[in-house]
Amino acid sequence: MVQNHTEKPKAYITKVVVEGFKSYGRKRKEIPLGDGFIAIVGPNGSGKSNIGDAISFALGLASSKVLRAKNLSYLIWSKGDKRADYALVEVHFKNGGAFPIEEEEIVFSRKVFSNGRSVFKINGKPVKERDVKELLTRVGITENTYNVVLQGDIIHFLKMTPIQRRKLIEEIAGIGEFDEKKQKALEELGELEVKLKELKLILDELRERLKVLERDKKALLEYRELSRKREEIKRKIAAKEYHRYRKGYLALREELERKEQELERNKKEKEELLKKLSQVEANLEEVESLLEPYREKLGKFQTQEEYLIKEIETLNGNLTDLLNQKGELQKRLEYLKRKLSETLQRKGEVEGKLQTLKEKQKPLEEKLKELDIELSKLEEELRSAIKGLEESEKKLKTLREEEDKKEKILRVLLREIDTLEGKITQTEENLKNLKGQKGELLRGILGNFTNEKQKWEKLIEEKEKGYNLFRERLGQIDRKLKAVREKREELSRELLKLEAKLQLSENGAVEFLKRNVKGVYGTVAELIRVGEEKYLTAVEIAGGNRLRHVVVENEETAKRCIGLLKEHNLGRITFIPINRIRATSPTFLPRVRGVIDFVYRLVDFDPHFEKAVLYVFGDTILVEDFEAAKRLGIGTYRMVTLEGELFEKGGTITGGTVKNQNLLREGFLKSRIEELRQEVTYLEKREEKLLREREKLKEKLWEEEGTINYARRKLRELENEQTNALERLKKLEERIAKGEEYLKFLKKELKEKDEKAETLQEEIVSLREEIERVNSKREEYLKTVSQSGLEDIKTRRNGLLKEISTLKGEIQRLEKTLIALQKEEENLKGKIGEIQKTIEEKGQEIEKTKLLIEEKKQKLGKVREEFKKTGENISKLIERRELLKGERDRLKGDLALLEAKGEKLSREREKLLMELTRLKENMENLLNSLGGKPLEEPKEETSLLKKLLTEIENRLSALGNVNFRAEEEYGEVFKRFREYGEKYQTLEREKKALIEFIGEIEKKKERIFKATFNAINKNFKEIFAFLSPGGKAYMEIEKPHDIFSGGLNMFVKPRGKEVKYLEAMSGGEKTLAALSLIFALQRYKPAPFYYFDEVDAHLDEVNAVRVGELIKEYSKRAQFIVVTLRESVAYLADKLIGVTSRGGVSEVYPFDPSKLEK
């Protein structure tokens, strides 16, 4: 019996509750189950399978198609016109710790309504389907672990392709996450490839730029070198100029010294003249000193005279001012008196006018009363005309109000029309903008999106070609790898066989001696190599037992060896000491047909062992066959044939069956083993090389696949963007449609309002015509009234009222004027008194001033007499001074001539100094350009230097525009190149890491797959061996070196039959194989319960019982619910559920199978 060693926390279905589900009717029914092995039995069509459908439905383990329904609503019970409102299934679990929740009972329920909507619940709480599946997955219940095996699942298993079998193992191994990780990593790899490609373009561009800048740098260096030479020549030219200026400078210095001597002589002559001039100046000063006291006295008299004149003038001025002020005051007094007289006169006039106006007012008021009486009488007479006039005016007012009202409405309408026209304009503008956006969006969709899409599609196409090419190359390498491995394995098997043969043929005693005694070379057979295998038998026979002799260096070596053989009881050996053996080479080979050669010549050996080889073979000749020996002469030579007949010189012939003693074959074997080892090593290296190539190709494949995935992702993103753009386009089109509809509405409303406005304008015109008519009527009434004289009386009355009003205003004004004149009279009288008093005071001041002026005039006469006497003395002194001034002027003229000469000399000196300064500045500038140190005068002529300078200038000009920022730009570009290079290297490292990561994923995925496959395959072998005693079954990976590109082949060998593919077996054999695989899967990934529906249908009785026994064994650790038609299987169950159909409604009857009679 196959033992299931996997233990899991217990959980099982205690009952299934159905209501309105398929054949179980509308009423709520319980189907009790329980732990262990539960068999469900009943006739066909009773509804047995619907129990499994109910479990699958409630747990979400199957689709409506699998549940044999068109859609979920077809699961609702119906019979004729009767139909349940919904279908409900509850699956009750007993939780013994399997489910990660505390409740001991867990109820999964699902209800489906007639509209197809279904509701999942766990313990009465609504949940989503994924919540149910997540909880079930934790205890190993999924769609792919075959917890529920329905009738069609066995057929599905039988029809599985090798690829589908592999994918099934992948699902069970749970390596889907590796595929997700790999896909994500491949996308990242693809993105890196795209970035690397972009960076490579930038790096290539920068590399080209660096080449250009390198050339620019060289040009700049050449420019700098030429500039340096140019500066050097310029320095030489400057040095030549410096020395030329220096010579001129020295000559001018001599000229300057001569001028300075002349200036010195001029200076002395000037000094003598200055002395004479100084004497004359002294005499002049003496005259001036005599003149000074007279001048001071004259100045004093003059000052006194001026002071007295000024004082007299001031007093005269004051007198004049006083007289003027007095005159002005008198004028002011006269003015004020006249003003007072005028004021008094005006006051009298105002009082007279006021009296006159008051007298005039009284008769006007009386006349006004008379006109009022006359007006009343006339109005009474014209009442009818006035009434018509009033009515006309009233109607006119009403019409004008109506006109105003309609004009207001018209204005509102016109404003609304303006607003509508504005809205229309705005809407048209908005529509224009929207259509512009639509156009841009269309251009984007048709242009940018199309270009981008084509770009990525082109990249995908290119990469798919590359991928297919690499895939094809990978297939070629796999085929080569397979061939190399097969060849290596074949050679390895041959090598193992040969090594085994060699191990059997090797002499242990000889090997012992070789390890322990120096000078032991080995047996003769070991020391020779037969060139061709066809000579092997002949050489072995010719050598005979001597081939086992051991070759040693000398007799001492042989002695030590014999001692060791005795000591260790290793037997006897014949030794050939090289130093003692005597042997000569045969010299003549008979020329007879069939003679091949001397035997010793047909073997290879070290020349050191030649004597030993000659000792063994001597002059033995190899002939082709017996007849050749006869032709040569039997007994004449020692001969051996290719087949091993031996002819001795004595005439004896030895022949017959040759036993394979492997004496010489050891050497041949060793040689072949060495060859095989070399071939195997070569093939191993070839295999390693192919594997490396394969790894590189896989990396290339990953890169291509990654780029394809990345490009596809970008394409999807682009398609999403395009979808969004199309959605935006749709919305824009909707907005445009709404806008156009709104514009249509606005234009319609505008038209209506225009029509209203036009109607209003017509009504206003009619009103105006009516106003004109009424106004005409009014004019007639007015005419009647005007002709009656009423208006004349009213005019006269209004004139009187106006005149009376004017008189009243004038009276009030005159009264105010009278008050003002009275105040002015009082003010003028006060001012006149003040001015009369001031005039008296000014008269007294005038008399005092006249007396002072007379006194000052007497003093002035005395001062003028003294002034005259002093002036005569001054005239005499001035005459002498003029004579002295003439002498002084003559001396000054002579001095001026000397000074002019001196100035000329000074100018000449200054000119020389300026020229010297210029030369010195030029020399200093040249010296500065030479670095502050004068160079020796160059030997080259200036013309030659200038010619060289011109040549350099031409070369500089030939360089063209020199990039003076070449070094800087080179540095910048190189920095960018380095940065981008580092980015490239970083991306390369990331790419390498990603490739390694993908490789690790592949390895891990493969490792987990192999572990899962091996475990399931082991289970499969054991279970099939139990179900089919004497039979064998196993699965084999189709492509071991590339597991995921191939599938899994299933091989089955029923007892007494050849190994078959699953497809070539009978129905029962297929079922056993499929069940074995299902049980293998279940044993690997166990779950709390299993449901089998008639899985024994195609089995014979014996095999059905075996399957039942296997289920019985497995039910000790998990619940098995089995629908069966076989009594032999049902009797093995722990509990039976009978199902029958009554009136089209399924009923269940649980009972104990142990109480049934078999």
CA angle 405, 407, 412 (to 5 degrees): 95
Q: Which residues contact 194 (CB under 8 A, 6 or more apart)?
A: 707, 710, 711
Nearest by Cα to 632 from 671, 663, 588: 588
Q: Which of 352, 279, 992 has its CA nearest to residue 702?
A: 992
Amino acid letter for position 546: R
Please say whether the dihedral angle defined by the alpha carbons of residues 426, 427, 430 and 432, taken in this order, is positive or negative: negative
Q: What three-state secondary structure class fits 84?
A: coil
* CA 551, chain centre distance (Å): 83
The 3-class secondary structure across 490-553, one letter per residue, is: HHHHHHHHHHHHHHHHCCHHHHHHHHHCCCEEEEHHHHCEECCHHHHHHHHHHHHHHHHCEEEC
**How many other CB atoms are there within 10 angstroms of residue 42's CB atom?**
20
Locate all alpha helices (DSSP H) within 930-962, ordered by sequence.
942-958
Tokens for 1121? 């619910």
564-593: b (≥16 Cβ within 10 Å) or e:
bbeeeebeebebbbbeeeeeeebeeeeeee
45 in a known ligand binding site: yes
State whether residue 961 is helix, strand or coil. Answer: coil
Determine whether the annotation assigns residue 96 to a binding site.
Answer: no
Does 114 appear as a known binding residue? no
Q: Is residue 24 within a helix (H) or strand (E), and if so which, with residue range? A: none
Annotated binding residue 875: no
Coil, strand or helix at 577:
strand
DSSP secondary structure letters along 1091-1144: EEESTTTTS-HHHHHHHHHHHHHHTTTSEEEEE-S-HHHHTT-SEEEEEEEETT
Instruction: Tell me how far apart the alpha carbons of residues 375 and 369 are, in angstroms, rounded to a whole number.
Output: 10
Q: How far is CA 204 from the centre of its chain?
A: 22
Cβ(406)–Cβ(764) below 8 Å: yes
Task: Please tell me whether 47 is known to bind a ligand.
Answer: yes
d(CA 963, CA 410): 79
44 is in an annotated binding site: yes
DSSP annotation string for 784-808: HHHHTTHHHHHHHHHHHHHHHHHHH
Residue 80, marked binder: no
How far apart are alpha carbons 124 and 105 in whole angstroms?
Answer: 12
Note whether 646 and 637 are within 8 A (CB).
no
Q: Which residues neighbour 351 within 8 Å (Cβ) at sequence distance 6 or greater?
A: 818
Q: How far is CA 76 from CA 108, 121, 151, 1002, 1143, in A?
A: 18, 18, 21, 48, 17
What is the H or E stretch that residue 68 is in?
Answer: none
Report yes or no: 64 and 75 within 8 Å, Cβ to Cβ: yes
Map residue 116 onto helix, strand or coil.
Answer: coil
Cα separation, 775 vs 389, in Å, equals 10
Structure tokens at 645: 């007949």
d(CA 1070, CA 330): 163
Q: Of all helices (H) and strands (E), which one includes residue 295?
A: helix 176-381
**Contact partners, residue 1049, CB within 8 Å, separation at least 6:** 162, 1035, 1036, 1038, 1061
Is residue 59 within 8 Å of 136, Cβ to Cβ? yes
- Beta strand 603-604 with 529-530: parallel, antiparallel or unpaired? antiparallel
Q: Annotated binding site for ATP, which residues? A: 43-50
Residues contributing to the annotated binding site: 43-50
